[in-house]
Amino acid sequence: MVELVVLLDSDNNPIGHADKQHVHTTDTQLHLAFSCYLYNDKGELLITRRALEKRTWPGVWTNSFCGHPAPGESFDAAIARRAQVELGTKVADVITILPSFSYRAVDASGIVEYEFCPVHAARIDAPLEPNPTEVMDYAWVDPAALAHSARSMPELLSPWMVEQIEQITQQLPQDHSGVAIPSALRALAGM
Determine whether 58 is exposed, middle or buried from the number of CB atoms within 10 Å of its CB (0-12, 13-18, 19+): middle
Tell me which amino acid residue 91 is: V
* Catalytic residue status for 115: yes
Catalytic residue among 44, 86, 115, 134: 115
The active-site residue, picked from 66, 86, 113, 134, is 66
Annotated active-site residue 53? The verdict is no
Q: Which amino acid is at 74?
A: S
Q: How many CB atoms lie within 10 A of CB 123?
A: 16
Closest CA to 6 of 94, 84, 67: 67
Q: Which of the residues are catalytic? A: 66, 115
